[in-house]
Amino acid sequence: MFLQDNIMLFVFLVFFICGMLFVDKFASAYNIKNYLKNCAPLLVVSTGLTYVVLNGGIDFSTTSIISLGSVLGAHLLVESPLAGTPLAVPLTILIIVGIGLAFGVVNGLAVSRLKMPSFVATLSTQLIGAGLAVWFGSILFEGAVSLGGLPEAFRAIGGRGMFWLPILIATVIFVIFNWMLCKTVFGKQIYAIGVNPRTAEVSGVPVKKNIFLLFVISGGLAGVASIIYTAKNGAGVPTMGDAMFIDIVGSVVIGGTDPAGGFGGVKNTLYGVLFLTLVSNILNLMGIEWFYVDLIKGALVIAAAVLNLIFKNLGARGRA
């Protein structure tokens, strides 16, 4: 039973050990440090998405929250009247998280109150957010599309000078949201809604309120991820999140959370994040020619997904 629930942990460990044994420089302190640093923001945003996927939904807007937060954050820190003041960093953090929460509120209302499919609602807000990011970038960045020169105090959040800080932030978020899912009534209600929302409603679960909250959580955590990504790259980039969705949703699904909802969890997403980031890291370290990297990465991800499926089926048969 433990192996069935944690198969991706097992796969990750096998790969990690192989990396330690066979991949030159993989075990170096510098590489392990960077590997964990790269896992951190992906874990944060994927944790939020996990809540939505457990409900059988999807949140495309996470990527545009990352981009929009990046643009507005960089502007506030470098070019606005706030720049250089002691309040610049804390206020910027609050504003970026606020942007994520605002998107979450809009998504949550659209899905829970207006009964829009999450696919449609969040695709719309994703497009709006991506458009706003580029638009604000063109207005705010005085002729350039990206903006660097972020203050060191903000860049520390991305690990500059304090590599452990993004890892600590991601760990705290993981622990809190894993606990919420596993140990609270709210968490159990999310699983109940994911399995069958009608039954959950009949049982007295506040379905609309909970669905609304799921999107607020997802948006808020995407805002936190935006802060880490922007700090890590030391620049506001309007297209920062554009190519990230595959990794975000890939971490959730490969980790073992069922896209149809009701099965999985934040713990599984952690495995997915560790595995996907590990594969990229190992392939880069092996110096494999770039056109093979995507092929190998795709094949390994398929293999991991198949393993996951096999173990699930074995579990189902065992229970039958």
- Give CA–CA dist 47/221, Å, rounded: 8
Nearer to other proteins, 57 or 250 (CB): 250
* Alpha-carbon dihedral angle through residues 300, 301, 303, 306, given to the nearest 10 degrees: 180
Task: Please tell me whether residue 87 binds other proteins under the rule CB under 8 A.
Answer: no
Task: Please tell me whether residue 229 binds other proteins under the rule CB under 8 A.
Answer: yes
Task: Please tell me whether residue 307 binds other proteins under the rule CB under 8 A.
Answer: yes
Nearer to other proteins, 109 or 132 (CB): 132
Lookup: tokens for 166: 């993004």
Cβ-Cβ contacts under 8 Å for 226 (sequence gap 6 or more): 65, 66, 67, 68, 69, 70, 73, 96, 99, 100, 240, 241
Task: Please tell me whether residue 138 binds other proteins under the rule CB under 8 A.
Answer: yes
For other proteins, the binding residue among 84, 149, 175, 202 (CB under 8 A) is: 149
Q: How far is the CB of 14 from other proteins (least distance, A)?
A: 5
If binding means CB under 8 A, how many residues of this protein chain bind other proteins?
Answer: 63
For other proteins, the binding residue among 288, 297, 305, 315 (CB under 8 A) is: 288
CA geometry: angle 3, 9, 11, nearest 5 deg: 90
For other proteins, the binding residue among 6, 34, 80, 171 (CB under 8 A) is: 34
Residue identified by tokens 């935006």 is 226
For other proteins, the binding residue among 93, 106, 237, 254 (CB under 8 A) is: 237
Q: How far is the CB of 200 from other proteins (least distance, A)?
A: 34
**Cβ atoms of residues 303 and 276 within 8 Å:** no
Task: Please tell me whether residue 76 binds other proteins under the rule CB under 8 A.
Answer: no
For other proteins, the binding residue among 98, 151, 234, 315 (CB under 8 A) is: 234
For other proteins, the binding residue among 9, 36, 38, 154 (CB under 8 A) is: 38
For other proteins, the binding residue among 21, 87, 114, 320 (CB under 8 A) is: 21
Q: How far is the CB of 56 from other proteins (least distance, A)?
A: 27
Q: How far is the CB of 294 from other proteins (least distance, A)?
A: 9
Task: Please tell me whether residue 286 binds other proteins under the rule CB under 8 A.
Answer: yes
Lookup: tokens for 148: 């660097």
Count of beta carbons in the 10 Å neighbourhood of residue 119 = 13
Nearer to other proteins, 202 or 310 (CB): 310
Task: Please tell me whether residue 124 binds other proteins under the rule CB under 8 A.
Answer: no
**Cβ atoms of residues 70 and 186 within 8 Å:** no
Long-range contacts of 286-295 (CB under 8 A, 24+ apart): 286/23
**Cα separations in angstroms, 320 against 114, 119, 314, 317:** 39, 34, 10, 5
